[in-house]
Amino acid sequence: MPRCNAAVESKMDSDLAKIYAVTGSASGMGHAVVERLRQQGHTVVGVDIKDADVVADLSTAAGRRAAAQEVLTACSGKLDGAVLAAGLGPTPRAERRITQVNYFGVTDLLEAWRSSLAKASRPKVVVFSSNSTTTVPVVPHRAVRSLLEGDPDKALRAYKFYGRAAPAMAYAASKIAVSRWVRRTAVTPEWAGAGIRLNALAPGAILTPLLERQLATPAEAENIRRFPVPIGGFGDPRQLAEWVVFMLSDSADFLCGSVVFVDGGSDAYFRADDWPRAVPARQLGSYLHRTRRFLNRTSP
């Protein structure tokens, strides 16, 4: 396990070198992020189920607790930022693991790391979402709501109605829920008020080992290639890593609670008129209430 020794701590005192935790560090986009951050001279504590600085199973509560604590031990209780890239795709008969890793593998770790992030100067967190949040139809609202309420078993019951499509529903619901958690949490006194910038990145089809395996299966490959990507082709993990580096940089100081789509235009193709949208009249009361509540919160 890496330790913040004297040499590392000396580097961290400079304006350039920082220490980051990255989940999903062993492959795909998470691995690309780790490589890019280390190229810049930063210290990275990688978390994955194998081949990582911290080896942990994020599909279990015990695994998440262990991962959170090992990272804090490795960096002596101070993090400059975190990248939550660990995730499972819509694998058959894996709805429970998908739900646990994609949602609780983000929220549990970040809650455990929040106070350590707050000790840093201008800390930033990037959570990997997905464009499935806006391009997968008929995702069960009950499942999303259940995850936000911390009830994965209720979410699993909602998936069962979809039969063979249950893994796809679990994947999309977990990504919608974690994106909403990011937007709700990012603007709270405990996060924005503590100077922590929390945002999400929503990739489309990126040429990771997972996508390569899917493309090697004729039936899956046909569906993937038929999916609308206006710019064409697939994204490169290194490109996504550059987006993450930007979202961790000082240039992103004013970025808070955003979900940034990097998907070749698929989200815009399907949902061009859904967002931005003006506040409707029926929500005016809630809008004014939230404005007053914010003013009361920030008053001396």
CATH number of this structure's domain 6-298 = 3.40.50.720
Q: Is the pLDDT of residue 212 over 90?
A: no
Name residue 246's amino acid: F
Confidence band, pLDDT 50/70/90 cuts, at residue 110: very high
Q: Is the pLDDT of residue 129 over 90?
A: yes
Active site residue 171: yes
Among 39-48, 165-174, 205-214, 225-234, the minimum mean pLDDT is found in 205-214
Average pLDDT over residues 205-215: 87
Q: Is the pLDDT of residue 7 over 70?
A: no
Average pLDDT over residues 227-244: 96
Q: What is the predicted pLDDT for the residue at 217?
A: 86
Calpha distance 87→101 (Å, rounded) = 6
Q: What is the pLDDT of residues 56-82, one digit of tens each?
A: 999 999 999 999 999 999 999 999 999
Calpha distance 298→165 (Å, rounded) = 46
Confidence band, pLDDT 50/70/90 cuts, at residue 297: confident
Strands 43-48 and 197-203, bridge-based pairing: unpaired
Average pLDDT over residues 267-272: 97
- For the chain, the domains span 6-298
- Which of 103, 171, 269, 287 is the catalytic position? 171
Q: Is the pLDDT of residue 136 over 90?
A: yes
Among 8-12, 28-32, 176-180, the minimum mean pLDDT is found in 8-12
Percent of the chain surpassing pLDDT 70: 94
Q: What is the predicted pLDDT for the residue at 300?
A: 66
Q: What is the predicted pLDDT for the residue at 101?
A: 98
Q: Is the pLDDT of residue 258 over 60?
A: yes
For the chain, the average pLDDT equals 93
Calpha distance 47→286 (Å, rounded) = 40
pTM of full prediction above 0.85: yes
Tell me the DSSP string of 40-91. Answer: TT-EEEEEESSSSSEE--TTSHHHHHHHHHHHHHHTTT--SEEEE-------
Q: What is the predicted pLDDT for the residue at 13?
A: 40
Q: What is the predicted pLDDT for the residue at 209?
A: 83
